[in-house]
Structure 1
Amino acid sequence: MTFTLNLEELAQQDLIDSSWVEILSPVQGTLAEIALRLEREIADGHQIFPTPQHIMRAFTTPFESVKVVILGQDPYPTPGDAVGLSFSVAPEHQALPRSLKNIFSELQTDIGCDVPANGDLSPWTHQGVMMLNRVLTVRSGEAGSHRGIGWEQVTKQALKALNSRTGTTLVAVLWGNDAIGAKEFLSNAVVIESAHPSPLSASRGFFASKPFSKVNSALAEHGQEHINWALPSNSALF
């Protein structure tokens, strides 16, 4: 299998927005090295998530449209879960990861939203929410398996560019230690941080952290339109 992580090609195929090509060009060499690494792992029999066309999906949100970044760790390592947007799953995927269930629980507690009908968070991206992980791929069943292969440099480049924009205040939501480690690149952003929504840590600072209302308060303070966090609902999910 060939992984296409050439920025120009990704933009031509609408796998990233063209606004990111120049911004990420300093890490094109790193992306090429990552692609070779992934091809070797596939050849060795490993399964990689998400699918190649979704690896850079977070970058389909145009650079200038990003108002909020929700930053996580790395993709879900369970088959069928990862879709290239942090914490999101495909709309037809009914068995929600426990982290996502905890996010939905906090969404209800924080701002009173009904339980969403599915785990597709892409409606948020249409409002300028970038759903990004620090690391954009993972081996099946091995959470954190692609830390240190270069993705951190790629996402650092993106975050620093967003942080350096003028005229628009970025709100960064950092969930978990991997995400919080990126705070040094976000000196101009409003940073909202907490424990990861994983069942291993959610009770130690994620629950009751009120990230959704805090984001909207920060946006209002800087004269920006709030995010409508409500997703199509269906109480049968829980």
Structure 2
Amino acid sequence: MSDSDALFELEPPAAETIGFAGLARLPLTELVAEDWAEALAPVEGQLRAVLDFLATEVAAGHEVLPSPSNVLRAFRQPLAGVRVLIVGQDPYPTPGHAVGLSFAVEGAIRPIPRSLANIYKELETDLGLPPRVHGDLSPWADQGVLLLNRVLSVRAGAAGSHRNKGWEAITAAAIGAVADRTSAAGGKAPMVVILWGKDAESVRRLLGSGAVIASAHPSPLSASRGFFGSRPFSRANQLLQEQGDGTVDWELPPLP
């Protein structure tokens, strides 16, 4: 783990003790990486309001996913290091699944969600990489792949239950910040955006002229309507190379 990772990662026991209400009172720089704190400062009030809303959900007896320690996990890695943005919808509503990174689950979860299984199928078709039995996508995040849901929380067992509660403004600000970054040379920083499904497509207006790969969602309901065969991983690497930013190693370890 790098020094920057260690600096901004909340230890799970402490974060669980704090709870959502406690998170809402912490300085922004203790919730997210330093450059994310600067980027999200314009929506800091909305962020604190959403965290307070999550606290009221818990107080009312509802289980909120992911846990307080993971709800802002996508913003632990520095904004400056983002190379690929993959936009999801909202967290998995199954207890134990949501980990704060879109499409990912805890490494011990079996079986993995069907959308993720379809992502692995396409990864095998695209790059010849073997599907994994686990859903730990943190090796992608460590390489600058921002796995960001549009809505960062959900009530357990109720998919979409935290839409229109304030998260959309926060993630819109985050996506805009990624798109607006500049490189050391003064031009646009290298980046590729992967949009899967109509919800993800809604953020295209925030992306300017950046490189975008769009297709159907990997859900079993839509994967056969344009996700399979879209080759997002090889295309992302090609676009990164064209921007002078190398490639992402999309191969995950056999076990987390």
Distance in 1 separating the partners of 2:20 and 2:89: 25
Which one of the candidate residues 69, 85, 94 is aligned to 1:69? 85
Mapped to 1, the partners of 2:25 and 2:150 lie a distance apart of: 18
**Is 1:156 equivalent to 2:172 in the alignment?**
yes
Residue 106 (structure 1) aligns with? 122
Q: CA shift at 1:126, angstroms?
A: 0.9
AA in 1 matched with 2:219: S
Matched, 1:9 2:27: yes
In the TM superposition, residue 7 of structure 1 has moved relative to its aligned partner by 8.6
SS state of the match for residue 3, structure 1? helix
Measured in 2, the distance between the counterparts of 1:145 and 1:60 equals 25
CA RMSD of aligned residues (A): 1.5
Residue number among 163, 187, 195 corresponding to 1:147 in the alignment: 163
Check conservation: 1:4, 1:10, Cα contact below 8 A.
Answer: no
The separation in 1 between residues aligned to 2:239 and 2:26, in whole angstroms, is: 35
In structure 1, the residue matched to 2:196 is 175
Match of 2:109 in 1: 93
1:230 corresponding residue in structure 2:
251
Task: Say whether 1:54 aligns with 2:75.
Answer: no
Q: Residue type of the partner of 1:129? A: V
Q: Is the 8 A contact 2:84 2:194 kept in 1?
A: yes
Q: What's the secondary structure of 1:54's corresponding residue?
A: coil
Give yes or no for contact 1:99–1:199 (8 Å, CA) kept in 2.
yes
TM-score, with length taken from structure 2: 0.86
Offset of residue 5 of structure 1: 4.3
- How many Å separate the matches in 2 of 1:64 and 1:144? 30
- Residue by residue over 1:60-91, the C-alpha shift from the partner in whole angstroms, topping out at 9 and shown as x without a partner, is 11011001101100000011100000001111
**Greater relative contact order (CA < 8 Å, ≥ 6 in sequence):** 1
Residue 6 of structure 1, CA deviation: 4.3
Unaligned runs of 5+ in 1: none
SS of residue paired to 1:192? strand
2:227 corresponds to: 206
Where does residue 216 of structure 1 map in the other structure?
237
Deviation of 1:16 (Å): 2.4
Which AA in structure 1 matches 2:210?
A
State the AA in 1 paired with 2:102.
S
**Aligned-residue offset at 1:94:** 2.2
Checking the alignment, whether the CA contact within 8 Å between 2:111 and 2:133 is kept in structure 1 is no
Matched residues in 2 for 1:165 and 1:104: separation?
30
Unaligned runs of 5+ in 2: 1-18, 184-188
Q: 1:59 to 1:163 in 2, by over 3 A?
A: same
Structure 2 counterpart of 1:82: 98
Letter in structure 2 aligned against 1:191: V
SS of residue matched to 2:69: helix
Matched pairs, number:
232
Retained in 2: the 8 A contact 1:117–1:232?
Answer: no
**Counterpart secondary structure, 1:71:** strand
- Aligned-residue offset at 1:10: 5.6
Percent of residue pairs bearing the same amino acid type: 50
Residue by residue over 1:177-211, the C-alpha shift from the partner in whole angstroms, topping out at 9 and shown as x without a partner, is 11110000001321111111111111111111111
Q: TM-score, normalised by structure 1?
A: 0.93
